[in-house]
Amino acid sequence: MSNLEEKRIQTEKVYSGSFLDVRKDTVKLPNGESSTREWIKHPGAVCIIPLLKENFILFIRQYRYPIRKHMIEIPAGKIDAGEDPLTCGLRELEEETGYVAEKLTLLTTIYPAIGFTDEKMWIYIAENLTKTKPKLDKDEFLEPYPLPLDKALKMVWDSKINDAKTMIALLMFSQLKNFNL
């Protein structure tokens, strides 16, 4: 296997908004030439598969402005500075759904868009949920959307669930043998 590494020569912050941090780097290519790479610096995110009773999973439904569509997704959110993924998962689950989980189990980690961001996502399974109260950000609007696993999986195959993190969560979780839904 070849070493195809692109080495950083220089980095520049070309846009820093309230949400997006855009970088433009000069890199040395494997052939010795130089080129530029533009990318979004991201703190990482955590996604949760909340297991309810009787084979239901607690999805959320929200409007996603970049694609201008209502989407059905598993709860997820960005990691705060210095926060570990597990703490973030518990926090985001409670904020978005109003459930506290007794147990989180890591299902997998994914890179959603390696062409232009360093975002990494941790996907956890959440069990033994207790209801408290959601605490949404003031510009965050979403609603709970519980679905049985088999119906949600069918929606993946019918392109009614087409958010990448939610698809991976469902396709992998449905193949596990050690969760008694």
Residues that bind its own copies in the complex, under the rule CB under 8 A: 1-2, 4-6, 14-15, 17-20, 22, 24-25, 27, 29-31, 33, 35-40, 45, 61-68, 70-71, 73, 108-120, 138-139, 141-143, 156-157, 159, 162-165, 167-168, 171-172
* Minimum distance of its own copies from residue 73's CB (angstroms): 8
* Minimum distance of its own copies from residue 34's CB (angstroms): 9
Cα–Cα distance measured from residue 21 to residue 44, given in angstroms and rounded to the nearest whole number: 13
Cβ proximity to its own copies, 4 vs 81, nearer residue: 4
Cβ proximity to its own copies, 111 vs 151, nearer residue: 111
Query: Tokens representing 12?
Result: 């520049």
Closest CA to 77 of 137, 37, 22, 133: 137
Cβ proximity to its own copies, 15 vs 102, nearer residue: 15
- Got the DSSP string for 15-40? EE-SS-EEEEEEEE-TTS-EEEEEEE
Cβ proximity to its own copies, 113 vs 128, nearer residue: 113
- All residues at 6 or more sequence positions from 138 whose CB lies less than 8 Å from its CB, including other chains: none
* Minimum distance of its own copies from residue 126's CB (angstroms): 20
Cα–Cα distance measured from residue 59 to residue 160, given in angstroms and rounded to the nearest whole number: 13
Cα–Cα distance measured from residue 22 to residue 167, given in angstroms and rounded to the nearest whole number: 27
* Minimum distance of its own copies from residue 95's CB (angstroms): 15
